[in-house]
Structure 1
């Protein structure tokens, strides 16, 4: 029997966050067994395995109830946190192999058995959608164009493509009530793995709020989505909503679900050009399960 530990990742003020089942020693589990665990708990799940090569300290696999994912930021952070708590973290920084490429993890102690965890993501690519695709997104979200801010709708990617949808304000954001079938169909047509509508809370303070409606994960909404937050940071940079520096960008998510969460992103630059980012978040509420 492989032990499962449930943690809340990307907590805000010690609460909220995205629940994540973690198997810190997944040796002997095949893909079917891993997906069964994700189905049992109904959340993205992370599985730690020995590396296949000398360039990495750890290999991770990720499953949602419906399928395997190449990369999951909050599950990566959750696995690292659990390994640190168990005293089994192989090193720090941690070199991690994922199906989407190499990731580096960093842990900072925040008290007794508590750490803040950050992971790397590659530089984002941002592409504005055309008018027809924009209309398709609005239809999937069941809104008219007046609910949007006067900025482009983008497909943006660090590890997986997310569609950044600029909402007029947080009231319009938190009133969204799309159906899963409509989101899945629209995402398939525009080449996205999820719709990520967002609103500006405090531009000078670099504070934003967002929601994530995944394409086909087996649940309708995420409380915190690190990969989407990383993509959003590069979209904000392209649209001129943030300056080109490494000050933290704070993205709140999950309010409409009653699980307000916080994701922090720091963009990295070399000679004035973005080269990647760090995703950071807090973890809490450890629960051992079977």
Structure 2
């Protein structure tokens, strides 16, 4: 069976900013093309050098158009939403894609991608949602129960589990000062890969922040997989109309404003946003 390659040259790195929503915004993502010859340690070194989630484009067997692997400074990840969007955008911009609908092999499973007028969306499977205890989450975030919105704290997942923490206002969200030394321990107790506090900011609009379990940095300016998980938590809480797009803003407290747009369907979810 013929393996499909994208590019066909030595590995090259392209830095993009995914989901920007203003000057300095978005989540930087190094995209490495033609990464087949690279070892695990070489991939990890790219992530360490840039201090960011990095995506590596590899050849794949049909029916996949190509494969992706993802590394953060501390470890490999099964899926990274913004890096996948960034990789598809980079390949499209360079004229290396022959079609506008793609199937990508990732460690978490197949991911579809759509390109419409240069805009990229990627698929995520239907999410799972479960309620989790409140006390330790409140303590680690440095807030009180009065700062919470009247909805449960939830573990939700499409590709990786994120702990969704509903707050009473965007102001409380922006003012969070977590005890970062305890984030990993709490995530381990909850079976989560990151804390994702959020607050409603408008009609179908929500602000969020992500404090990852152990990525090698304390906060993430735009997290597609967490936003996808949030969409299913919001659906469970009846806070959204599933027939209309959902907008999640992130990164503002870091000075890196970002916006992720999500669309729910009866069978899955699509997430996308700007790339620069």
Q: Within 2, Cα distance between the matches of 1:40 and 1:86?
A: 24
The 8 Å contact of residues 24 and 82 in structure 1, kept in 2 or not, is answered as: no
The two structures, once aligned, show a CA RMSD in angstroms of 1.2
Report the secondary structure of 1:282's partner residue: coil
Q: Within 1, Cα distance between the matches of 2:98 and 2:187?
A: 38
Pairing of 1:179-258 with structure 2 (within 5 A): 179-202=179-202, 205-245=203-243, 247-258=244-255
TM-score (norm 2): 0.94
Query: Any idea what the Cα deviations from partners look like across 1:5-49, whole Å, max 9, x if unmatched?
Result: 110001115751100011022121011100000000000000000
Query: Any idea what the Cα deviations from partners look like across 1:129-164, whole Å, max 9, x if unmatched?
Result: 1xxx31111111111111111110000000000000
The 8 Å contact of residues 142 and 176 in structure 1, kept in 2 or not, is answered as: yes
Q: Within 1, Cα distance between the matches of 2:246 and 2:273?
A: 12
The 8 Å contact of residues 57 and 91 in structure 1, kept in 2 or not, is answered as: no
Query: Any idea what the Cα deviations from partners look like across 1:157-181, whole Å, max 9, x if unmatched?
Result: 0000000000110111011111322
The 8 Å contact of residues 22 and 257 in structure 2, kept in 1 or not, is answered as: no
Query: Any idea what the Cα deviations from partners look like across 1:208-241, whole Å, max 9, x if unmatched?
Result: 1000000000000000000000010011111010
Which segments of 5 or more consecutive residues in structure 1 lack a partner in the other structure?
110-114, 270-274, 285-290
Which segments of 5 or more consecutive residues in structure 2 lack a partner in the other structure?
1-9
Q: What is the number of residues matched between the two proteins?
A: 267
Q: Which runs of 4+ in 1 moved over 2 A?
A: none
Offset at residue 89 of structure 1 (A): 1.8
Query: Corresponding residue for 1:287?
Result: none
Query: Corresponding residue for 1:50?
Result: 59
Report the secondary structure of 2:111's partner residue: strand
